[in-house]
A = this chain, B = another copy of it.
Amino acid sequence: MSELNKHSCKSDSVKEVQHVCTNFHNAIEFIGKRWMGAVIYALMTGPKRYHEIISSIPGISDRLLTERLRDLESEGLITKKVIATSPKRVEYELTTAGKDLEEVINTLVKWAKNHSNK
């Protein structure tokens, strides 16, 4: 049985169901924010510096990237690692929760690929 069939967002009598629905609702709108998917995607292959992220996403602005990195940090999906070199280096890295999004991203990449060929 799929996750979906086990839970119905229609029922509001069960707190657990409401909780799952609210979290799903927040999660899908969070990852669907402008450029969010591309930023998560860019970090999936490992920690990256700011300039590496921006150069891997054609079209994203400085302002948007900074905003998305802040969103991801405040949601606990990335950490900002300061490496004590001179000059110091800052790297952004997905946390375990952030890395766990890989399955979501992969199924969506697969869907987008299949769907666009139709």
- The chain A residues found within 8 Å of chain B, CB to CB, are 2-5, 7-10, 12, 19-21, 23-34, 36-38, 41-42, 44-45, 55-58, 76, 97, 100-116, 118
Copies, count: 2
Contact A108:B27 (CB < 8 A) given known A4-B41, A114-B100: yes
How far does the Cβ of A95 sit from chain B's closest Cβ, in whole Å?
10
**Interface residues of A, dominant DSSP:** helix
Bound CA span A73–B56, Å: 33
How far does the Cβ of A86 sit from chain B's closest Cβ, in whole Å?
28
Q: Are B4 and A112 in contact (CB under 8 A)?
A: no
Q: Are B45 and A25 in contact (CB under 8 A)?
A: no
